[in-house]
Amino acid sequence: MLEDTLSVTNAGILASLNFSGYLAGAIFSITLKNIKIKVFFFRLGIILGVFTTLILALTTDETLWIISRILAGFGSAMILLVGSSLVMLKLNMQNKTKAMGIHFSGIGFGIVVSEIISQTVLRYGSWNDAWFVLFVISFIIAFYAVYILSFDTNTHEQFIKQKQKDSKTIFTAYVILLILAYFTEGVGFVVQGTFLPTIVNSLEGLDGYGNLAWLIVGVAGIPSSILWMRLAHHYNNINVIIFAMLLQIVGISIPTFTTNVILNLLSAALYGSTFIGLVALFMNRAGQLSKNNPVILMGAMTAAYGIGQVGAPLYSVALISYFGNYNTTLYLTAFIVFIGVILLFSTKYKRFMSGH
């Protein structure tokens, strides 16, 4: 699409609009209390995700693209945030919360499958054809996702009885620092998530390696959440998050100082193996802290993450346009993620722990 239809600036704006929808969905999800309503909006999110994909296949109308990206972002929040809270509730009932890593590994599978399908279709057709094939496949898969994540009446009544009363006490200094750190991770995620193939292709001698880099992101992401969650189970959760974010900073920085193909593919692997794992680690921590009603804290954290997602493409586009390369954008992004690391270190002081 960047080659045929979109400029880097327009791509960044569309990405920002998409994440604006995601941010709105994250904020909206905090208001959802009834489990049946949560299931309804999870299913609505799937429907939005599927049919906004179809819009990209059928039209190049900019107004429809803008609307579809906002709706797709809202739907993504319903799928990832509300869906994850429902998964955690089910796992809590079965005392199997360790399996949350398997749930988040679906992000990596999605990247790999969509990339393989897209590149296969693009050999014989256009990007419109690729979007249409992705629509058909997602439409079929959606039926199972809609079916599997449901609750019976007894479970619903049990949830209502066990649900924690809404309380501002959950937002302790410790939790606020976690939320701010997750904001910086939203920035760290979105810059490479939006521009990584283009960044790789822009490097001397690496034109054409961008698609391979993105495939590596997905492959690295598949086992990452499972592995990071296991590490968090055996070691301090915050220490594991800090280590993952430091690795991400290394990955973000690599394209700024080398055009070596191996190192830049390693950058893609570090990105894939950290951003999915960090989503799992932060969301799991939110679920642990909020227990029977995880969507409240998950929603607050994801709202902060979404603010980072909205802002990062905009400053990226401005810096790329001004300097003519991605280096300054990557420097700033790495610095912002490093601030997140500092915030997480500060949670380790006793005055912030407060029983956490």
pLDDT, averaged across the chain? 84
Mean pLDDT in residue range 201-212: 92
Q: What is the rounded distance in angstroms from the CA atom of residue 106 to the CA atom of residue 114?
A: 12
Does any domain span residue 236?
yes
Mean pLDDT in residue range 10-35: 82
Range of the domain at 166: 8-353
Q: What is the rounded distance in angstroms from the CA atom of residue 123 to the CA atom of residue 245?
A: 36
Could you give the 3-state DSSP secondary structure of residue 33?
coil
Residue 5 has pLDDT above 50, yes or no: yes
Count structural domains, the chain: 1
Q: At what angle do helices 173-202 and 261-290 cross, to 10 degrees?
A: 160
Does any domain span residue 313?
yes
The per-residue pLDDT for 102 is: 79
> Which of these, 335, 319, 336, 339, lies nearest to 327 by C-alpha position?
319
Does any domain span residue 107?
yes
Mean pLDDT in residue range 269-289: 87
Residue 154 pLDDT level (bands cut at 50, 70, 90): low
Mean pLDDT in residue range 62-73: 90
Q: What distances in angstroms separate CA 276 from CA 42, 68, 150, 268, 272, one per listed residue?
A: 20, 24, 24, 13, 7
Residue 300 has pLDDT above 80, yes or no: yes
- The answer to whether residues 64 and 17 touch, using CB atoms and an 8 Å cutoff, is no
**Position of tokens 């939110």?**
286
Residue 166 has pLDDT above 70, yes or no: no
Does any domain span residue 218?
yes
Residue 235 has pLDDT above 90, yes or no: no
Does any domain span residue 3?
no
> Which of these, 246, 257, 259, 252, lies nearest to 217 by C-alpha position?
252
The per-residue pLDDT for 273 is: 92
Q: Convert the pLDDT of each residue in 236-268 to its tens digit.
A: 889 999 999 999 999 999 999 999 999 999 999
Mean pLDDT in residue range 137-141: 92
Q: What is the CATH number of the domain that holds 252?
A: 1.20.1250.20
The per-residue pLDDT for 241 is: 95
Which is higher by pLDDT, 217 or 107?
Answer: 217
Mean pLDDT in residue range 222-230: 88
Residues sharing a CB contact under 8 Å with residue 1, sequence separation 6 or more, in sequence order: 11, 127
Question: Phi/psi of residue 61, each to 5°?
Answer: -65, 120
Residues sharing a CB contact under 8 Å with residue 303, sequence separation 6 or more, in sequence order: 23, 26, 27, 30
- The answer to whether residues 69 and 22 touch, using CB atoms and an 8 Å cutoff, is no
Residues sharing a CB contact under 8 Å with residue 49, sequence separation 6 or more, in sequence order: 72, 75, 76, 79, 138, 142
Q: What is the rounded distance in angstroms from the CA atom of residue 43 to the CA atom of residue 143?
A: 10
Tokens standing for residue 242: 């800090």
**What is the b/e burial string over 22-59, where b = at least 16 CB atoms within 10 angstroms of the residue's CB?**
bbbbbbbbbebeebeebbebbbebbebbbbbbbbbbee
Residues sharing a CB contact under 8 Å with residue 54, sequence separation 6 or more, in sequence order: 131, 132, 135
Q: What is the rounded distance in angstroms from the CA atom of residue 182 to the CA atom of residue 285?
A: 11
Q: Which of 56-70, 112-126, 296-310 has the lowest mean pLDDT?
A: 296-310
Does any domain span residue 2?
no
- The answer to whether residues 110 and 218 touch, using CB atoms and an 8 Å cutoff, is yes
Residue 44 has pLDDT above 90, yes or no: yes
Does any domain span residue 1?
no
> Which of these, 313, 209, 300, 306, lies nearest to 261 by C-alpha position?
209
Percent of the chain whose pLDDT exceeds 90? 36
Residues sharing a CB contact under 8 Å with residue 209, sequence separation 6 or more, in sequence order: 200, 201, 261, 264, 265
Residue 146 has pLDDT above 90, yes or no: no
Does any domain span residue 53?
yes
Q: Convert the pLDDT of each residue in 176-192 to its tens digit.
A: 999 999 999 999 988 88
